[in-house]
Amino acid sequence: MTKPVCYSTKAFATSSATSPLAAATIERRVPTATDVQIQILCCGVCHSDLHYARNEWHFTEYPAVPGHEIVGRVTSVGGGVKKFKVGDTVGVGCLVDSCRTCASCRTGLEQYCDNGMVMTYGSTDKYLSKPTLGGYSQSIVVTEDFVLRMPANLNLAASAPLLCAGITTYSPLRHWKVGPGQRVGIVGLGGLGHMGVKFAKAFGAEVVLFTTSPSKIEDGKRLGAHEVVVSRDEKQMAAQAGRLDFILDAVSAEHDLNAYLNLLKRDGQMVLVGAPEKPLPVSAFPLLMRRRSLSGSLIGGLPETQEMLDFCGKHNITSDVEMIRMDQINTAYERMLKSDVKYRFVIDMASLA
């Protein structure tokens, strides 16, 4: 493939696992026939960004530019683009391409592409033959099939985290048909967990939130939980044994999975959407004794992500966010590690100008 013409744009990047993010200049391709060029207005800060920047998953190539909760305005389109026009408000999530021909891609599950999805950062850019670079930047160019239409009635900053935290929690709740008559546990009240609470309630389930922080009890109820359990309290945990139909585990830190498996009814399902740095031990007995299941779920495909955005527009669902400037990102990472955010940082990309 001939290397495309490129242009330069400002970004925030890190040069090593121990280096802070700092101002940088990166290259983007000039839009090809099917590309959409987007001026980034805001970008959510995901825990995955921190994992990637600090090489905690052991595949980061530097310089690295995180960011995959991107909302912006279309500034240019290729001659073959049919879905978008200049001025449209659009989003880009965790994916920017896939093979589009495998069984997963043909069924709208591009995140499970059999030949390897192309992530917004941390994959190989097939045009430039170097790592893809994310949304901590002024602009991005993405093929139109991986660009999403944002609901016009939602606040742009508060809707940015829907592109990762939103779809990550929406997808498993939809796949396992969570709804009325079910008792659903959400583990962790962070960027993912608070969206899990909102969606589970919107789907009509009875929502039980599990948190290590007594200070989050009232906030959990405000967000839609019918009951809040402090998971460090053995009596509160014991009272939930065998009572839940479904558990969505949204914790990205080390914790005891077996304690939650014991809370499921017979044939109950526990789904992991958090991504802890280290493996977590699982005992066979909680699974064997009541035919319980333990699964994982990864974001969502493009059709389901658009479905989720449309659902959020219809039901006025957004993330609870705290806006920051681009030069506050390193402090935001440290605060995120301390769970000192309610519940998602979003970068005002105008601050990068």
Residue by residue, pLDDT tens for the chain (353 residues) are 577 899 999 999 999 999 999 999 999 999 999 999 999 999 999 999 999 999 988 999 999 999 999 999 999 999 999 999 999 999 999 999 999 999 999 999 999 999 999 999 999 999 999 999 999 999 999 999 999 999 999 999 999 999 999 999 999 999 999 999 999 999 999 999 999 999 999 999 999 999 999 999 999 999 999 999 999 999 999 999 999 999 999 998 899 999 999 999 999 999 999 988 789 999 999 999 999 999 999 999 999 999 999 999 999 999 999 999 999 999 999 999 998 999 999 999 999 97
In the three-class reduction of DSSP (H, G, I as helix; E, B as strand; rest coil), residue 187 is classed as strand
Tell me which H or E stretch contains 313. helix 302-315
- The number of helix segments (H) and strand segments (E) in the chain equals 11, 19
Examine the domain organization and report whether 258 and 177 are in the same domain.
yes
Please report the pLDDT score of residue 1 as a whole number. 59
Same domain, 146 and 224: no
| One domain for residues 187 and 305 | no
Say yes or no: 311 and 323 in one domain.
yes
The Cα 161–Cα 129 span in angstroms is 28
Residue 330, class by beta-carbon neighbours within 10 Å (0-12 exposed, 13-18 middle, 19+ buried)?
middle
Q: Which long-range contacts (CB under 8 A, 24 or more apart) does 104-107 make?
A: 107/301
174 and 284 assigned to the same domain: yes
Report d(CA 11, CA 136) in Å as an integer.
6
Question: The tokens of 123 are what?
Answer: 């994959």
Give yes or no: residues 231 and 342 share one domain.
Answer: no
Q: Tell me the C-alpha distance between 299 and 22, whole Å.
A: 28
Place of tokens 């959020």: 312
Does 83 fall in a domain? yes
> Do 29 and 155 sit in the same domain of this protein?
yes
Give the pLDDT score at 318.
98
User: What pLDDT score does 253 carry?
Assistant: 87
Distance in angstroms (rounded) separating the CA atoms of residues 211 and 255: 11
- CA 90 remoteness from chain centre: 16
Angle CA 50–143–303, to nearest 5: 80
Secondary structure (3-state) at 353: coil
Q: Tell me whether residue 128 is exposed, middle or buried, using C-beta atoms within 10 angstroms of its C-beta: 0 to 12, 13 to 18, 19 or more.
A: middle
Q: Is residue 142 one of the residues assigned to a domain?
A: yes
Q: Are residues 228 and 307 in the same domain?
A: no
Provide the CATH number for the domain around residue 181: 3.40.50.720
* Amino acid making up residue 144: E
Tell me how far apart the terminal alpha carbons of the chain are, to the nearest angstrom.
33
Whether residue 251 sits in one domain with residue 344: no
Name the phi and psi angles at 158, rounded to 5.
-70, -20
Instruction: Say if residues 190 and 350 touch (Cβ distance below 8 Å).
Output: no
Residue 200, both tokens: 């589970």
Domain count of the chain? Answer: 2
